[in-house]
Amino acid sequence: MREIVFDTETTGFEPGDGHRIVEIGCVELMDHFPTGRTLQFYLNPERDIPIESQRVHGLSAEFLADKALFANVADEFLEFLGDAQLVIHNASFDIKFINAELARVGRAPIPLARAVDTIEIAKRKIPGARYSLDELCKRFGVDLSARTKHGALLDAQLTAEIYLELIGGRQKGLMLAPAEIAAAETVETIRSARQRSQKLAPRITAAELEAHTAFVAAELGDKTLWNA
């Protein structure tokens, strides 16, 4: 099963207020494991970037002035997504911005139902917890040292790690199974090697057995358990 984890950085909170995407980051998973394939775009939003937003992601209008427009990368972005399931932290936010950009270039919107929201999974798995990406990373021991500011590709990578933890701890049990099977097979091999194909011949002689039987009868008589 192919999945794409993606994240966006924006100039603000609402595309309806004219805010735009300034970065897109995508990470590919196959059968719940990262393939190493990623996609990232910095985008020229064709507008100013409020200082509050710059403090979050560190992207200025000057830095983005020579970057691509969404219209220039839309085809590559959609091709990378393909028909994969989407995994997003706070899916409604990113989907509404992506759909606003798609509408500008006359492309069909992405249904929200196509997305798996890691916040919703976390609410079911750990009710009452804090569900920000930072808090979930801390809960699961995911390294945050590189996250001095938000970044779409970095946050997509962190979301992928959180997602894998939420759906079963990266299938650690399955990853250990081959080693456990190999160990069990080794033990069984040793056991089989130690078993003799034929029983050893008894080392006691007939005379010794007869003497022992006579001794037991003379000393213990009917008290012995052997005669019970």
The tokens describing 23, both together, are 């970065």
For residues 206-227, average pLDDT: 59
**pLDDT tens digits, 26-50:** 999 999 999 999 999 999 999 999 9
Q: Is 150 a catalytic residue?
A: yes
Q: Is the pLDDT of residue 187 over 60?
A: no
For residues 194-220, average pLDDT: 60
| Choice between 50 and 179, residue whose per-residue pLDDT is larger | 50
What are the respective helix, strand and coil percentages of the chain, to the nearest 5? 55, 15, 30
Q: Is the pLDDT of residue 185 over 50?
A: no
Residue found under tokens 């759909």: 99
* Percent of the chain residues past pLDDT 70, beyond the cut: 74
Domains of the chain: 2-173 (3.30.420.10)
Angle between helices 70-81 and 91-104 (to 10 degrees): 120
User: Distance from CA of residue 27 to its chain's centroid?
Assistant: 12
The tokens describing 80, both together, are 């990378």
pTM for the model: 0.74
Catalytic, out of 19, 57, 89, 150: 150
For residues 127-147, average pLDDT: 93
User: How far apart are alpha carbons 17 and 91 in whole angstroms?
Assistant: 19
Tell me what pLDDT residue 221 has.
57
Chain mean pLDDT for the chain = 85
Other C-beta atoms closer than 10 Å to the C-beta of 64 total: 19
Beta bridge partners of 227: none
**E-state strands within 15-62:** 21-30, 33-42
Q: Is the pLDDT of residue 176 over 90?
A: no
For residues 209-228, average pLDDT: 57
The tokens describing 186, both together, are 């080794």
Beta bridge partners of 24: 8, 41
Other C-beta atoms closer than 10 Å to the C-beta of 59 total: 24
**pLDDT tens digits, 53-105:** 999 999 999 999 999 999 999 999 999 999 999 999 999 999 999 999 999 99
CA distances to 61, 73, 111 from 87, rounded to whole Å, are 29, 20, 13
What is the CB-side half-sphere exposure of residue 194 using CA atoms within 13 A?
Answer: 6
